[in-house]
Amino acid sequence: MWELVKAGGWLMAPIVLCSILMLVIIMERGFKLRLTQVAPPTLREQLLNRLLTQGDIDREALTAVKQHSPLGDILATGMMYRQYGLASMTMHMENRASVQVHALEKHINMLGTIGAIAPLLGLLGTVLGIITSFLAVTDGSMQDPAMLAAGVSQALITTAGGMVVAIPAVMAYRYFQRRIVDINAQFEQEAGLLVQELLDHQQVSVTTPTNLPSTQTLPRSA
């Protein structure tokens, strides 16, 4: 393997670096995007049962839930703002969902970039190798056709290396993109069920209560 890398020339160095970066991103995102870690399956039921049992959930407990998982951040934010009415609760949950989805997409676009540039680096190495071989023939320093074939075969190593890196990078990129779509759908489903259950148990008002300060109202200047 090391002999093939050496034979590919200096352009094999960025290809190898791309492969290392690709593996690190795949392992890191694979760990972070586990569904049980991103969206615990019983979290919504636990929050609702605690609310119905205790009558309310204090802010410290909700803050702890927010820090536990992305879904916890979304649902706990909604619980914090339910006293301001359904519209305020829904708006804040949507904002947190947008932030969490953006965080989950971290480094995924880099996989797409690696999948795009790795074969181009390999092609560049091949073109440069072929140019070098034919220049040697033109100068008369390479008379044996076998030597020319050996030079061309070595030049093709970079193309093969680029493809070996690009194929799994693109596959992982598509897989993680689909995983993000599924997670976002899970967020929407859990948030919608929480809102519906709070409405069913009359734990949130459809309109903004008039006896509470609005989170959207700015203080008037004197």
Q: Is the dihedral of CA 196, 198, 202, 205 positive or negative?
A: negative
Instruction: Give the H or E element holding residue 187.
Output: helix 145-200
What's this model's pTM, rounded to 2 decimal places?
0.79
The confidence score (pLDDT) of residue 222 equals 35
Q: Nearest Cα to 121, choosing from 47, 21, 220, 32? A: 21
Report the distance separating Cα 216 and Cα 214, nearest Å: 5
Each domain of the chain, given as residue ranges in start order, spans: 2-200
Q: Please identify every stretch of the chain with a pLDDT value under 50, giving residue numbers as ranges.
A: 214-222
The confidence score (pLDDT) of residue 148 equals 67
**158 Cβ partners below 8 Å, 6+ apart?**
8, 9, 11, 12, 15, 121, 122, 123, 124, 125, 126, 129
Contact of 56 with 204, CB cutoff 8 Å: no
The pLDDT tens digits for 111-155 are: 999 999 999 999 998 888 888 777 777 766 656 666 666 667 777
The confidence score (pLDDT) of residue 201 equals 83
- Write 190-197 long-range contacts (CB < 8 A, 24+): 190/39, 190/43, 190/44, 190/71, 190/74, 190/75, 191/74, 191/75, 191/78, 191/93, 191/97, 193/44, 194/44, 194/47, 194/48, 194/75, 194/78, 195/78, 195/86, 195/89, 195/90, 197/44, 197/48
Report the distance separating Cα 14 and Cα 54, nearest Å: 59
Q: Which residue has the tokens 């997409």?
A: 105
Query: What secondary structure letter does DSSP report for 142?
Result: -
The confidence score (pLDDT) of residue 129 equals 80
Report the distance separating Cα 88 and Cα 97, nearest Å: 14
The confidence score (pLDDT) of residue 141 equals 60
